[in-house]
Amino acid sequence: MKIREISPIVLTSKEGGSATWASTMILVRVVTSDGTTGYGEAVPTLRVSQVFRAVEQVAKSLVGKDVERLERNYHDWYLQDFYLSRSFESATAISAVDIALWDLVGKELGAPLHLLLGGKFRDSVPVYANGWYRDCITPEQFAERAKELVRKGYKGLKFDPFGRYFDWIDEKGLREAEERVKAVREAVGDEVEIMIEHHGRFNANSSVEIARRLGKYNPLFMEEPVHHEDVEGYRKYRRSTNVRIALGERLISLKEALFYLREGLMDVIQPDVTNVGGVTVARKVCALAEAFGVEVAFHNAFGSVQNAVSVQLASVIPNLLLLESFYDWFPSWKRDLIFNETVVEDGHAKVTGRAGIGVSINEKLLEELEADPKTLEVKEEPVWVVQGTWK
Ligand SMILES: O=C(O)[C@H](O)[C@@H](O)[C@H](O)[C@H](O)CO
Ligand SMILES: [Mg+2]
């Protein structure tokens, strides 16, 4: 089949979610010469209009090419876009197209993605919850909400207890963070995994101090404890702590992943299929991590197409730790968009056997939600925190 059309589609609704920067979804629709439709998803954040345009630019390179030549198509864009290794917009655009192409190959062969990738290693995917602590400030609020999700069957949860601290943290901030983490640990007991999200916002001295204070609550990992590009900070953090480090949601290529792996800067890698290079690159990152003895916990914070493809990928790799999930805290339209096909039950996501990425799109809803790619408002609370927690 030939690629006939590649279109970015922006979806949004008044119903917000727990993460402001995921209130918009960028879908990519690819239509083939025989009229089959495949879908991928790109990362929205504060770059919705830029990513929309980047997808249009990728389309100029790939329309007319063979759907099935997945590696070749990625490589053709690599050849054209001199700045791919430096551009998040370009990386997420080609990632979304790549996901849609895998979806189409699966549909052509009548096979779910997991079959194309070597078959299921597990029948359902263990997930951890994120997005559950909207408007939580006090330790009691965190504890209450954490108990609710354990009752729902979740075996792991992630949260950012650092309020409005950025770059550095003082004694007051450390105490507040510790009170929140302590309350959650006591609320969920020792059997449930807790993960501490730092959102890559501290200098090494601050995060080392944080590790000293919070390590005793036995977190499964400390996520992005220092600023993403602060390699010296990571080295210092590694030397000065004995907690497990997770990072990877901002990686945009295989070789960038190799850099952090070879430096030994992480114990858990968190590639995001929607910006690391689609299924084509994500599976290589997982293999690379396997060779380094590093486990994978895919970053999965945006929409329901990203979630669907991440569930498929997570079902096949041997070195999966956990998959992130916002599913139960999505605005309802994101679940409706895929006919609620990837439900979480007892802390596990169902792996569907449908062809391609495993979900079909509610075209009627898509039409209703389609919007112009707008520049987002910037408010005091940054878009990357869970809403109502920047206090
Ligand atoms: O690990 C993650 O999921 C990412 O750091 C982010 O995507 C935020 O946590 C999310 O947006 C909520 O603020
Ligand atoms: Mg994160």
Point out the ligand 1 atom lying closest to the alpha carbon of residue 21. 11
pLDDT digits (tens, 9 = 90+) for 70-104: 999 999 999 999 999 999 999 999 999 999 999 99
Closest to 251 in 3D by CA, of 233, 266, 235: 266
Torsion sign over Cα 104, 110, 116, 120: positive
Query: What integer is the mean pLDDT of 181-192?
Result: 98
Residues facing residue 246 across a β-bridge: 223, 268
**pLDDT at residue 52, as a whole number:** 98
- State yes or no: pLDDT of 16 exceeds 90: no
User: Token pair of 247, please?
Assistant: 């990072």
Q: In the numeric block, which tokens belong to residue 90?
A: 């370009």
Residue closest by Cα to atom 3 of ligand 1: 301
How many helices (H) does the chain have, and how many strands (E)?
13, 14
Question: Is residue 368 helix, strand or coil?
Answer: helix
* Nearest by Cα to 113 from 319, 351, 287: 351
Catalytic residue among 114, 198, 199, 348: 199
Confidence of residue 314 (pLDDT cuts 50, 70, 90): very high
Q: DSSP letters along 298-323, please?
A: ----S-HHHHHHHHHHHHH-TTB--E
Q: For the segment 230-270, what is each residue's pLDDT rounded down to a tens digit?
A: 999 999 999 999 999 999 999 999 999 999 999 999 999 99
Average model confidence (pLDDT) for the chain? Answer: 97
Q: What is the dihedral of CA 72, 120, 288, 273, to 10 degrees?
A: 60
Name the helix (H) or strand (E) containing 245. strand 245-247
Closest ligand 1 atom to the C-alpha of 386?
Answer: 13
In 3-state terms, what secondary structure has residue 22? Answer: helix
Q: What is each CA distance from 126 to 156, 271, 345, in whole angstroms?
A: 9, 16, 10
What pLDDT, on a 0 to 100 scale, did the predictor assign at position 377? 86
199 lines ligand 1 (CB under 6 A): yes
299 is catalytic: yes
| Position 20 pLDDT exceeds 90 | no
For residues 354-383, give the mean pLDDT.
Answer: 95
User: Which is it for strands 348-350 and 295-296: parallel, antiparallel or unpaired?
Assistant: unpaired
How many angstroms does the Cα of residue 249 sit away from the middle of ligand 2?
A: 7
Q: Tell me how far apart the alpha carbons of residues 73 and 53 are, in angstroms, rounded to a whole number.
A: 19
**Residue 375 pLDDT exceeds 90:** no
Q: What's the pLDDT tens digit per position in 212-229?
A: 999 999 999 999 999 999
Verify whether ligand 1 is closer than 6 Å to residue 249 (CB atom): yes
Structure tokens at 151: 């009752």
- Paired strand residues for 10: 26, 371
For residues 216 and 22, which has the higher predicted lDDT (pLDDT)?
216
**Closest residue (by CA) to atom 8 of ligand 1?**
384
Residue that is written with structure tokens 């192409």 in the block: 101
pLDDT digits (tens, 9 = 90+) for 317-353: 999 999 999 999 999 999 999 999 999 999 999 999 9
- pLDDT-based confidence at residue 59 (cuts at 50, 70, 90): very high
Instruction: Answer for the pair 132, 157: CB distance below 8 angstroms, yes or no.
Output: yes
For the record, the structure tokens of 167 come out as 């770059």
DSSP-derived secondary structure for 62-112? HTTSBTT-HHHHHHHHHHH-TTGGG-HHHHHHHHHHHHHHHHHHHHHHT-B
239: enclosing H helix or E strand: helix 231-240
20: amino acid identity, one letter: T
How many other CB atoms are found less than 10 A from the CB of residue 161? 26
For 139-186, write each residue's pLDDT tens digit: 999 999 999 999 999 999 999 999 999 999 999 999 999 999 999 999
CA atoms within 13 A on the CB side of 3: 29
Question: Which pLDDT band holds residue 374 (cuts at 50, 70, 90)?
Answer: confident
d(CA 215, ligand 2 centre) in Å: 18
Domains and CATH numbers, the chain: 3-111 (3.30.390.10), 115-357 (3.20.20.120)
Q: Please give the order of strands across the beta sheet that includes 37-42.
A: 37-42, 24-32, 3-12, 370-371
Q: What is the pTM of this model?
A: 0.98
114 is catalytic: no
Could you say which ligand is closest to the alpha carbon of residue 223? 2
CA of 130 to the centre of ligand 1 (A): 8
Residue 78 pLDDT: 98
